[in-house]
Structure formats: structure tokens, C-alpha cells
């Protein structure tokens, strides 16, 4: 992925912050599905500007990302739409699992805007 990241050139887009997710576990699992109808949406995903998923199609089977978070450190996931599929815009359902917490976040990206979600791990006191 690192060699791909150095060679790809993505058009600059506005980031639309959809949600800030606070978790109580350092191990975070993110699953991305096509939202509603499967229409050939493809996405590229970054966390803190590091390429994790490149031009992958969203389907009813999840694109799964795991990462470990440091306490009180902010992580920004950006979903970049490589295309808009047959039904614009490019939409995804993100299921976040961390510890006992599980939540759904709906993402939408276009040729002008990329969806962004921030994650913060806070230890329980």
C-alpha cells in the first residue's frame, strides 16, 4: 500500500465530518458496506492520511479494517469516492465495533466532498 500511496494522485476534495466516535477500547474494527442498493460504488480509504483501502468496491460483504488506537489521540478516517456508481452519490454503511460498543454511521461521498469520521479512544476511569 505504501508504494501505491506514493504514486496515486487524487483530486483534492472538501472533507465533510460526519461524526466523532468515542470508543473505550484501543482495538477498533470498521466494516464498510454499500448502503441501500449495490451499484458498483468504489472507494479509497485513509486513516490519518495513510492509505488502507484502494479502489475497492462496496458490496453486501464488508470491507474490513482493523486498527489500534492510542489513548486521547484523534484518528481521522476519510472515505474518498473513486466513482459514484450507478446511483449517485457514493454511499456506505460503516459499522464500528470497539470493546462492547457497536454503532452504525452512514457515509456519503461525491466528486466534491469526501466523508470523514473522527475516532478517539478514551480509557474508562
Read off the pTM: 0.93
Q: For residues 20-31, b (16+ Cβ closer than 10 Å) or e, as one string?
A: ebebebeebebb
- How much is the pLDDT for 79? 98
CATH number of 14-121: 2.60.40
Residues in the chain: 125
CA distance 19 to 121: 14
| Residue 48 backbone phi and psi in degrees, to 5 | 50, 45
Q: Which helix (H) or strand (E) holds 57?
A: strand 50-57
Would you give per-residue pLDDT tens digits along the chain (125 residues)?
667 777 788 889 999 999 999 999 999 999 999 988 899 999 999 999 999 999 999 999 999 999 999 999 999 999 999 999 999 999 999 999 999 899 999 999 999 999 999 999 998 76
Quote the pLDDT of residue 1.
64
Check: CB of residue 68 under 8 Å from CB of residue 27.
Answer: yes
Amino acid at each position: 500500500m505504501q508504494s501505491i500511496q506514493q504514486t496515486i494522485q487524487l483530486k483534492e476534495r472538501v472533507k465533510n465530518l460526519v461524526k466523532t466516535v468515542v470508543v473505550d477500547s484501543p482495538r477498533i474494527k470498521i466494516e464498510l458496506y454499500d448502503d441501500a442498493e449495490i451499484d458498483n460504488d468504489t472507494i479509497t480509504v485513509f486513516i490519518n492520511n495513510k492509505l488502507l483501502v484502494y479502489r475497492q468496491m462496496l458490496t453486501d460483504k464488508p470491507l474490513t479494517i482493523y486498527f489500534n488506537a492510542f489513548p486521547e489521540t484523534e484518528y481521522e478516517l476519510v472515505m474518498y469516492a473513486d466513482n459514484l456508481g450507478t446511483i449517485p452519490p457514493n454511499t456506505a454503511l460503516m459499522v464500528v465495533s470497539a470493546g462492547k460498543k457497536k454503532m452504525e454511521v452512514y457515509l456519503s461521498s461525491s466528486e466534491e466532498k469526501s466523508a470523514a469520521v473522527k475516532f478517539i479512544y478514551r480509557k474508562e476511569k
